[in-house]
Structure 1
Amino acid sequence: MGSNDDSANLLEQVNLAIENATPLRIQGANSKAFLGRIVAGEVLDTRNHCGIVSYDPTELVITARCGTPLSQLSEALDAAQQRLPCEPPSFGDGATVGGMIASGLSGPRRPWSGSVRDFVLGTRVITGHGKHLRFGGEVMKNVAGYDLSRLMAGSFGALGVITDVSLKVLPKPRQTLSISLDMDSDRALTRLAQWGQQPLPISAACHDGQRLHLRLEGGEGSVAAAHERLGGEILHDSYWADLNEQRLSFFDEDQPLWRLSVPNNTPWLSLPGTQLIDWGGAQRWLKSDADASFIRSTVEAVGGHATCYSHGLVDSPFHPLPPALMHYHQRLKQQLDPRGIFNPARLYAEL
């Protein structure tokens, strides 16, 4: 695959947009376009700025340009028996590294390994001042003040154009085994809470309404011992990729899709529709025709929040922020994008 430094062209487009006060819709493959509010603006396509800048497997750090396909990043890591542990979903063949950071989405391993944000060591970003700045670095000893590079994770392009990113990576485990256990949702949540206090090599846990699916990862001995203790039927490892990319039959139902993020050990939520439990209970997928305000108030009551994954269903797909938190978001947006040209109102109408 090709490698090309197109940062000068991206910077020129941003400066022109600043000069003319033209909103920009930043996108790579546009595979996450269904998330967030609709953005009106000129398209700033990042895919020509691509390629792996540096990768030293011994240092566990890879640096890539924003338009680099996620598949290319994965192939490079696979060749060295390494991986990005947070398992970011692609939702499309052409998904890019920039989109991965901007969306900040993580896969089934998230509660055990960390989020996309946790693996960002540094970024280069074109700001709303028309400057191409470097935040963070390429080593873990980056402790001088708050690292702005991690703010880019999950910002959905509202704070600037991510051009390059350095990521911490880790070796693949020696052994992986997936199993499936027959139990109901309540029992599964109880067991997961118990197992969370024990040294079990669990790296994914999902309940589909009938069965609890677990992934065990680690040394051969620890995985074998855990399997012997837990029992269950062998499950094909491809299940986790199908879950992560929303290819399971659950996601085919013709109802609005909601992502519910709740605290660990939250009991079963009584909501209309069907649910799929992920992240060992911390993430719930809900297919429901229920009113958005009812869903959100129910989730808020247990300390969580709800994001609508069905495009155009609600005016604010991301859970509304409390006034004080929105104030900080607005101040940050004003500092990094004073003309408000980057993905305006993608996250919230007030941004």
Structure 2
Amino acid sequence: MGTTERFQEQVLAAARDRAPLCIRGGGTKDWYGGAHAAPQAAILDTRDHAGVVDYEPTELVITARCGTPLAEIEALLARHNQMLAFEPPHFGAGATVGGTVAAGLSGPRRASSGATRDFVLGARLLDGKGDVLAFGGKVMKNVAGYDVSRMLAGSMGTLGLLLEVSLKVLPRPFAEATLRFEMSEIDAIRRLNEWGGQPLPLSGSAWCGGQLALRLSGAEAAVDAAMRLLGGEAVPDAAAFWMEVREQRHAFFSNAMANAAPLWRLSVPSTTGALALGGDQLIEWGGAQRWLRADGDAATAQAIRQTVQACGGHATLFRGGDKGGGVFQPLAPALARIHARMKDAFDPAHVFNPGRLYPESAS
């Protein structure tokens, strides 16, 4: 029996018995998302369903099964001088491509290259009725109709088991350099927005503790010209720095975990000024993504969400803290109804990762 057939049997049995399933690959992001509504849920392990199905470097597309290690895919792409341009975090050696897409997380390059969902071209999904559904394709122009394959990015496995995914890949830049500047938070936000409006090869930014790091990527001449224009101090071994930011091993994140302080991910318009939220911050994506370490109770969490929402953004309780009030920003009523209809259509018995995205009472 193949892995797909085994998955179908497990899903059909779970739907019949109304027994929840917890989809898991490498388990590197088990902590992310809402508290599981059924802690004793059976594990649906995807690691046996692995392997690259198709990869033609000249087509800039790779198709792989969900249990394929992310490191394996990145190593294969690197041999052809290509990359996953959304720079997904691993958060552990066992990260799989299925979990990467389901989590929908992107790294420092996201502001210039796009988010995970922007690189999902197609997918095969096992739904809650045991049917294998195919969406999208392997070319960027295949966007007719409702783009379900991209909707799966960030769905946290709540709509079904992602069996296979096709991702757009990009060539690695010819040259990269990182500059460091001493400046305040307010000045960093202002300068990032000014630079973002200029034809500069920006591919990453991170401000923390009075220092701004700025990554430049592209043609060698463009990177050299930008360095002369911007000034600053060149950062040696910059690749290690961006890896620390991406994998949250930077001192900012390490301190948060050591102190058991809740870590919030704030998404706001890049032009939003400094946010006084009572904690330390690390700012990425040209000002659009802000990480916040902040202790506090439910009232503090509500104040954070209200402040960010007033700016036109949303807040996620990323690590730690009390998940009882929900992890992700509550949906507006109209969006909540759409979310509920999609969940019912793909997973009628609600067996897939219940509570992982939104509390079941809201889905």
Give the drift of 1:38.
2.3
RMSD: 1.2
Q: Matched residues in 2 for 1:234 and 1:143: separation? A: 42
Q: Matched residues in 2 for 1:129 and 1:13: separation? A: 11
Are 1:67 and 1:98, in contact at CA under 8 Å, matched by a contact in 2? yes
SS at match of 2:205: strand
Q: Matched residues in 1 for 2:28 and 2:160: separation? A: 19
Establish whether residue 239 from structure 1 lines up as the match of residue 222 from structure 2: no
Q: Which amino acid in the other structure matches residue 336 of structure 1?
A: F
Point out where structure 1 has 5 or more consecutive residues left out of the alignment: none
Are 2:119 and 2:168, in contact at CA under 8 Å, matched by a contact in 1? yes
Q: Matched residues in 2 for 1:143 and 1:53: separation? A: 22
Q: Which amino acid in the other structure matches residue 126 of structure 1?
A: L
Deviation sequence 1:205-240 (CA, Å, 0-9, x none)? 110121110000000000000001111112222111
Establish whether residue 309 from structure 1 lines up as the match of residue 322 from structure 2: no
TM-score by length of 2: 0.94
Deviation sequence 1:228-284 (CA, Å, 0-9, x none)? 111111222211110010001111221211100101211110110101111110000
Establish whether residue 267 from structure 1 lines up as the match of residue 273 from structure 2: yes
Q: Matched residues in 1 for 2:184 and 2:177: separation? A: 22
Give the drift of 1:346.
0.9
Q: Which amino acid in the other structure matches residue 304 of structure 1?
A: G
Q: Which amino acid in the other structure matches residue 160 of structure 1?
A: G
Partner of 2:14: 17
SS at match of 2:43: strand
Partner of 1:339: 349
Q: Matched residues in 2 for 1:111 and 1:337: separation? A: 33
Point out where structure 2 has 5 or more consecutive residues left out of the alignment: none
Give the drift of 1:19.
1.9
TM-score by length of 1: 0.97
Establish whether residue 156 from structure 1 lines up as the match of residue 156 from structure 2: yes
Q: Matched residues in 2 for 1:312 and 1:143: separation? A: 39
Q: Matched residues in 1 for 2:332 and 2:273: separation? A: 25
Are 2:123 and 2:162, in contact at CA under 8 Å, matched by a contact in 1? yes
Give the drift of 1:311.
3.6
Deviation sequence 1:311-351 (CA, Å, 0-9, x none)? 45232011111222111100110111111111111111123
SS at match of 2:135: strand
Give the drift of 1:147.
1.6
Q: Is 65-74 or 144-153 further displaced after alignment?
A: 144-153
Q: Matched residues in 2 for 1:140 and 1:323: separation? A: 32
SS at match of 1:295: helix
SS at match of 1:33: coil
Alignment of 1:255-334 (within 5 A): 255-290=261-296, 291-311=300-320, 313-315=322-324, 316-334=326-344
Partner of 1:69: 69
Q: Which amino acid in the other structure matches residue 293 of structure 2?
A: K
Give the drift of 1:144.
2.1
Q: Matched residues in 1 for 2:335 and 2:84: separation? A: 30
Q: Which amino acid in the other structure matches residue 115 of structure 1?
A: A
Establish whether residue 208 from structure 1 lines up as the match of residue 208 from structure 2: yes
SS at match of 1:162: strand
Are 1:292 and 1:314, in contact at CA under 8 Å, matched by a contact in 2? no
Give the drift of 1:180.
0.6
Give the drift of 1:310.
2.4
Q: Matched residues in 2 for 1:151 and 1:166: separation? A: 14
Q: Is 105-114 or 132-141 further displaced after alignment?
A: 132-141
Are 1:202 and 1:215, in contact at CA under 8 Å, matched by a contact in 2? yes
Q: Matched residues in 1 for 2:116 and 2:107: separation? A: 9
Q: Is 85-94 or 10-19 further displaced after alignment?
A: 10-19
SS at match of 1:62: strand
Q: Which amino acid in the other structure matches residue 23 of structure 1?
A: P
Alignment of 1:184-203 (within 5 A): 184-203=184-203
2:252 to 250, 253, 268: 250
Give the drift of 1:141.
2.2
Q: Which amino acid in the other structure matches residue 308 of structure 2?
A: V
Establish whether residue 54 from structure 1 lines up as the match of residue 51 from structure 2: no
Alignment of 1:143-182 (within 5 A): 143-182=143-182
Q: Matched residues in 1 for 2:320 and 2:347: separation? A: 26
Q: Which amino acid in the other structure matches residue 10 of structure 1?
A: F
Q: How many residues align?
A: 348
Q: Matched residues in 2 for 1:83 and 1:201: separation? A: 17
Deviation sequence 1:89-127 (CA, Å, 0-9, x none)? 011110000000100000011111000000001000001
